[in-house]
Amino acid sequence: MGKVLFKPGTMLNPVPVVLVSCGASLEKRNLITVAWTGIVNSEPPMAYISVRKSRYSHAIIYREREFVINLTTEKLVKQTDYCGVKSGRDVDKFKEMELTPFQGEIVKCPMIQESPVNLECKVKEILSFPSHDMFLAEIVAVHADDTLINEKGRFQLEKAGLICYSHGEYFGLGRKPLGSFGYSIMKKKTKKRRILERTASKYQKR
């Protein structure tokens, strides 16, 4: 298999695509689509978003030091795209996309009701780069739709229909998992038990 050499660039794909909400007041609230985001620490739980300095949301987050990461789904793909190409200087994206803002527990900026998972974040540090600033933040609260919690209390995020972004296009994450964490060294008995559990769960839903 041959290789084609490219100049250095942001070729890491796929990446998450999320809607970040910010702005404590009705006049300043905004949504921005972010693909450069991720987890950087587990205890305390910390995440980051990288935002271009020219973006309207950048000044809001820089000033207020808080934001919410709202996970996106196949049902929200149009809203996700719109919030990435339209500026909050010109439109109220919540209103235009008919998204429902609701108040969280700790941060003052609104969250998106239609998003399956919302992460309230408090900025702890800002790393400045030529084109973007990276906002390192502690995740101070997590909200999840109760429809994703089964009768045993298991969080079934795979049912949310999450999407990702790859080389200019949005993709659904699919319905069939390729494996679970640690499956490569899992004992045969454990594999068999998990298969039986999944099968039984499917029949119970029919």
Query: Which among 41, 13, 43, 30 has a CA at the least distance from the CA of 70?
Result: 30
In a domain, 5, yes or no: no
pLDDT at 195 over 80: no
| pTM of the model as a whole | 0.89
Q: Which tokens belong to 151?
A: 């009768």
Question: Are both 195 and 143 inside the same structural domain?
Answer: no
pLDDT digits (tens, 9 = 90+) for 86-116: 999 999 999 999 999 999 999 999 999 999 9
pLDDT at 203 over 80: no
Q: Is the preceding omega at residue 14 within 30 degrees of 0, hence cis?
A: yes
In a domain, 31, yes or no: yes
The CATH number of residue 129's host domain is 2.30.110.10
Higher pLDDT, 182 or 146: 146
Looking at residue 197, what is its pLDDT? Answer: 62
Q: Do residues 111 and 103 lie in contact, with contact meaning Cβ atoms separated by under 8 Å?
A: yes
> 32 forms bridges with which residues in the sheet?
20
The C-alpha torsion from 47 through 50 and 51 to 57, rounded to 10°, is 0
Question: Are both 36 and 126 inside the same structural domain?
Answer: yes
Looking at residue 45, what is its pLDDT? Answer: 98
Tell me the C-alpha to C-alpha distance, in Å, between residue 183 and each of 61, 130, 154, 188, 191.
Answer: 40, 41, 19, 10, 8
pLDDT digits (tens, 9 = 90+) for 133-166: 999 999 999 999 999 999 888 999 989 999 999 9
Q: Provide the domain limits for residue 166.
A: 15-170
